[in-house]
Amino acid sequence: MSYTGPDFDDPEPRRSRRGPLTVALAALVPGALLGWAVYAVAGGGSGDGERNGGAAGEASASVSSRAPSSATAPASPSGKPSGKPSRSAEPSASAASGSVSAPAASGPLTGKVVVIDPGHNPGNFRHTAEINRQVDIGTHRKECDTTGTSTNGGYIEAKFTLDVARRMRDLLEAQGATVKLTQDGDRPFGPCIDERARIGNEAKADAVVSLHADGSGAGNRGFHVILPGAVNAGAADTRAIVGPSRELGERIAGNFVRVTGSAPSNYVGGGTGLVTRKDLGGLNLSTVPKVFIECGNMRDSKDAAQLTSGAWRQKAARGISDGIVSFLRG
């Protein structure tokens, strides 16, 4: 969804480190009962330059929740690190390959590599010609990226995704993972969707998660996780990652409900919180387990109130991270 909204503060990069709803069980197949029971006890677009809340998808019917707790890193009152990025006319070589975390702490994820893909870029709306360039996603060609959506109050998706990504990085590094961001507010636009996929592939990531918030109609609420469908066309061949990506998505969905108290989408996914799609370049071109998550609908006032809350964003980061930890620990 195109966005050309108001001015906003430049995104702030990471400083050098040292760094309810209840879900009805009857609606789910037996394989999902355990995970959704945990949810009930607990309190209960735009993206890839492509996804749209109203797009059709094949609904999955299983969500599991086996979730060890991860350490929660404290957030600042503003929810953002301090410091200002340097801005260049073109992406630097290091930016093009993604932002890599500091050496990880020892922990259960030692030796694991996680790539976090903060959807869009706060600078995209200044570079419409560049992000409108067509790239090959295997099945067809699509725009390099999009500007993303925003709340009615002007809080843009790209700022939301970058903030959650940085929070997730802290949480996952505390578990011992090596974490790489596809962008960290360190480049003027992008990267393109094909490059985002390539960063995860070249990192030989054990898991990749692309972060988004939807831009659907008011009254459409809740989160959904987008899984790759089986695609074998041109440069795209997802057949080997469909299974593990589904497991990753199920773990994330279960933990997201548990930690945030948010319900699965009421407008896609049939109440499961899972949708399968074959039209997203970020998934089609991935050779490693990867999913997208739409954390809520920015155009709904109730969801927007959550998405704009630093405390809720910390919960979102925790829920997604716990899902990744659960997936990687098996």
Indicate which residue of 157, 247, 250, 294 is catalytic: 294
Tokens representing residue 228 in the block: 């790759």
Residue 116 or residue 93, greater confidence = 116
Extract the runs of DSSP E, i.e. beta strands, from the chain: 58-59, 99-100, 113-118, 134-136, 141-143, 178-181, 207-214, 224-228, 232-233, 236-237, 274-277, 290-297
CA-nearest of 188, 197, 4, 28 to 117 is: 197
Q: Specify if 163 maps to a domain.
A: yes
pLDDT at residue number 163: 98
How confident is the model at residue 10, as a pLDDT?
A: 36
Please name the amino acid found at residue 71.
A
Bridge partners of 142, per DSSP, are: 135
pLDDT of residue 106: 85
Beta carbons within 10 angstroms of residue 147's beta carbon: 26
Q: 16: buried, middle or exposed (CB in 10 Å: 19+, 13-18, 0-12)?
A: exposed
If one counts the domains in the chain, the total is: 1
Residue bearing the bigger pLDDT, 241 or 88: 241
Percent of the chain with pLDDT over 90: 68
Could you tell me if 136 and 201 are in contact, meaning their C-beta atoms sit under 8 angstroms apart? no
Task: Give the chain's end-to-end CA distance (angstroms, integer).
Answer: 36
Type of residue found at 157: E
**296 Ramachandran zone, left/alpha/beta (phi>0; psi -120 to 50):** left
Within a domain: 10? no
Overall average pLDDT of the 60-70 stretch: 37
Place of tokens 């970020």: 282
Give the closest residue to 86 by CA, choosing from 9, 13, 141, 151: 13
Whether the pLDDT of residue 247 is over 70: the answer is yes
175 within domain boundaries: yes
So what's the pLDDT on residue 101?
56
Annotated catalytic, 247?
no
Q: Across the chain, what does the average pLDDT equal?
A: 79
Within a domain: residue 315? yes
Mean pLDDT computed over 83-104:
45
Taking residues 276-281, report their average pLDDT: 97
Within a domain: 303: yes
Mean pLDDT to the nearest integer, 174-198: 97
DSSP string, 22-51: PPPGGGS-GGGHHHHHHHHHHH----TTT-
Let me know: does 246 contact 63? Beta carbons within 8 Å: no
For residue 103, name the pLDDT band (cuts at 50, 70, 90).
low
Per-residue model confidence (pLDDT) at position 102: 58
pLDDT at residue 49 in the model:
52
CATH of the domain at 177: 3.40.630.40
Q: Is residue 83 part of a domain?
A: no
User: What mean pLDDT do residues 249-260 have?
Assistant: 98
Q: Each residue of 125-175: pLDDT tens digit?
A: 999 999 999 999 999 999 999 999 999 999 999 999 999 999 999 999 999
Question: Is residue 207 over pLDDT 60?
Answer: yes
Q: Which of 196, 182, 311, 320 is closest to 251 using CA atoms?
A: 320
Tell me, yes or no, whether 49 lies in a domain. yes
Give phi and psi for 310, each to the nearest 5: -60, -40
Can you give the pLDDT at residue 97? Answer: 55
Token pair in block for residue 90: 């073109």
d(CA 146, CA 193): 9
**Does residue 79 carry a pLDDT above 60?**
no
What is the residue range of 175's domain? 25-73+95-329
255 and 322 in contact (C-beta within 8 Å)?
A: yes
User: What per-residue confidence (pLDDT) applies to 93?
Assistant: 36
0.85 exceeded by pTM: no
CA distances, 144 to each of 137, 162, 274, 323 (Å) = 10, 18, 25, 29
DSSP letter assigned to residue 270: G
Pairing between strand 232-233 and 113-118?
unpaired
135: in domain: yes
